[in-house]
Structure 1
Amino acid sequence: MQTTLGMDSVAQGVYLTMVAQPHADVRELAEQLDESDVAIGRALEQLSQLSLVAPGEGATGWMPIEPEVGLAAMLARQQAELARHQLQVEDSRLEVAQLLAAHGRRPQGQVPGVEWLPGEAAVWRRVAELADGCEEEALSLGPTQRLTQAVIEASRPVDESVLRRGAKSRSILLESARNDNAAMPYLRWKTDVLGGVRTLPSLPVWMILIDRRHVVVPVGNFRSVMGGLVCTSESIINAFVALFANLWKEALPLTGARPRTAGQLSLQEQHILRLWARGLTDASAARQMDVSLRTVRRLSDRLTDRFGAHSRFQLGAMAIAEGSIRPEDMI
């Protein structure tokens, strides 16, 4: 089975063994890994395609590339591919939003379980309607960008409706809100009267979930909300509930200090490593975390010193090797 790094388990075993024993021949590799000579040959071809071995004077005819060089180069290629893919996704997202906005007046009900809301005002009117009928719980994730005054003003009546109905409320916001003097009074009020406010350095999506029966997903770009989707499909709602539950476990309470255990990476450092591993540039990472470019570069310097890395690519490879981030975080 192929791993996230693009090699199967046999190739991975061959590479690690060759690094430790660069003069082992094919037969010795086969015996140590309990594989056939043919399987070892296929693994060497795979490693060659990944530029992890090069023709040399070794007993196999190949010499392993030093892990810090080979893995860093491989990570660089994957980052470039991920960056291209991310640009395609962003372009597609904007096109979808424009198409939905253009067809916002179509009769509802053509797609079962899905409702399109054209414009930001329509999104907040629908959220307010759902909050007025909330019976058990309101969950919110985001927004994924700075918490603007307009969003605060639109959110407060929704929170008050949930409070009047005696329902529970939990929210996950960007950690940057902790340093936002304009937003903190509202967040303190929300924490005091509703409880359950936590933060993360970055968020994957903006969504509002009411009673686990309706999920509202605002759609837009970095500047404004162009509309939103309301979904009642059980499978989609369950997916959003699972996403919220996983992020809730990782998030930190707004009222709590941001702990850091000696020798371990902070939550912010882990997040920036994951964003880099997914191919985001410093500017994109700063925008997603709602922090300054200077903050991202300060994190880069600190992590580079900590790992003793000489480049961003090497930093990513070493972070994966140490276990600070997982290979699957690159997806």
Structure 2
Amino acid sequence: RAELAAALLAEEYRAAAAEPAVHDLVEVVTGAAAVSQRFLQLQLGATEEVCALVTDKPVAVTGMENDAEEQAAGRGVRYRVVVERSVLDLPSGITELTAALSRDEQVRVVDRVPTKLVVADRSLALVPLTAHSSEPAALVVHASGLLELLSGLFEAVWRDALPLRLGASGVTEHGPDAPDGTDLEILSLLLAGLTDASVAKQLDLGLRTVQRRVKRLMELTGVTTRLQLGWHAYERDWVARKH
């Protein structure tokens, strides 16, 4: 009887360990320091992929630029990031996105994201809580139906977002008349929805310089409208493609 009881207890223990209790599937993290620390832990613990939705209003997490992200990317962790278009207007927006793209991260742009979100290896997610108090808080969601829902939300936003390219990485067309890195940055930002003035500000160029470069690209491709230029830029692989 003792052996049977021990066997039953061992089985119960294994079942409990394999299937966490419902209240263990979601953690509530409060305080800016705690939320920031949990965000870093998600990245440091990732082994395959980190997916993120980024807004222009950071609270506990100040942006994409941090040591944990660089370390994770250095270990071969893939990053897929969707940013709101307004992020491009932030003083450090272009700098951080350029750094992310230089680490071979995939970055896309949409008008607005539904919420801030980070998903690591499709097994853990961090989503902020909206509260009336001034203290930041977030939910850490473990493997569950809720996590699948959050992962599905990211994939839906990712599918509708526009790829961003900054610099000449991946371009195979070369020559004296080929677009340079600045031309490609201008095209990518224009396709992301920025105005000529916003592009000029972000790239620290004069407005006339931006317009002159766009005109030269139109002449180079033999088109008369910017819509046609966008099509030719896509066909010639001047702008990032979805993949």
TM-score (norm 2): 0.55
Does 2:46 match 1:128?
Answer: no
Q: In the alignment, is residue 216 of structure 1 matched against residue 129 of structure 2?
A: no
State which of 29, 32, 57 in structure 2 corresponds to 1:146.
57
Pair 1:176 & 2:76 matched: no
**1:160, CA displacement in angstroms?**
1.3
Structure 1 residue 237, shift from structure 2 partner: 1.5
Sequence identity of aligned pairs in percent?
A: 24
> What is the one-letter code of the residue matched to 1:146?
K
Against the structure 1 CA distance between its residues 149 and 178, is the aligned structure 2 distance closer, same or farther, given a 3 Å change threshold?
Answer: farther
Structure with max Cα Rg = 1
3-state SS in 1 of match to 2:115: coil
Matches within 5 A, 1:87-126: 111-126=23-38
Distance 1:211 1:232 in 2: 11
Measured after TM superposition, the shift of residue 181 of structure 1 is 2.9
Report how far residue 131 of structure 1 moved: 1.5
Cα pair distance change 1:116/1:163, threshold 3 Å: same
Counterpart amino acid of residue 112 in structure 1: D
1:85 match:
none
Q: Specify every segment of 5 or more residues in structure 2 that has no aligned partner in the other structure, as ranges.
A: 1-20, 166-187, 195-243
The alpha-carbon deviation at position 217 of structure 1 amounts to 0.7
- In structure 1, the residue matched to 2:12 is none
Instruction: Report if the CA contact (8 A) 2:35-2:60 is conserved.
Output: no
Aligned to 2:75: 165
Q: Secondary structure at the match of 1:111?
A: helix
> Does the 8 Å contact 1:127/1:158 carry over to 2?
no
Alignment of 1:239-258 (within 5 A): 239-255=149-165, 256-258=188-190
Say what the alpha-carbon RMSD is for the aligned residues: 3.0
**What amino acid does structure 2 have at the position aligned with 1:116?**
V
Secondary structure of the residue aligned to 2:46 is coil
Cα gap change, 1:148 to 1:183, in 2 (>3 Å): farther
Cα contact 2:32–2:59 (8 A) shared by 1: no
Aligned to 1:198: 108
The secondary structure found in structure 1 opposite 2:136 is: strand
2:148 equivalent to 1:238:
yes
Separation of aligned partners in 2, 1:156 and 1:178: 18
Distance change (3 Å), C-alpha of 1:199 and 1:147: farther
SS at match of 2:88: helix
Q: Which amino acid aligns with 2:62?
A: V
Which has a greater percent of helix? 1
Cα deviation digits, residues 90-149 of structure 1 (max 9, x gap): xxxxxxxxxxxxxxxxxxx78130111111211111121221121100000123x43579
What runs of 5+ residues in structure 1 fail to find an aligned partner? 1-108, 261-265, 268-331
Q: CA deviation at 1:233?
A: 3.3
Q: Contact 1:117 / 1:123 at 8 angstroms: preserved in 2?
A: yes
Which amino acid is 2:86 matched to? S
Q: Deviations over 1:244-275 (max 9, x none)?
A: 11111111122234449xxxxx89xxxxxxxx
Shift of 1:221: 5.5
- Determine helix, strand or coil for the equivalent of 2:66: helix
Distance in 2, Cα, partners of 1:138 & 1:215: 10
Give the conservation status (yes or no) of the 8 Å contact 1:134–1:165. Answer: no
Task: Compute the displacement of 1:205 (Å).
Answer: 0.9
Distance 1:111 1:150 in 2: 25
Distance 1:232 1:149 in 2: 20
CA distance 1:150–1:213, change in 2 (3 Å): closer
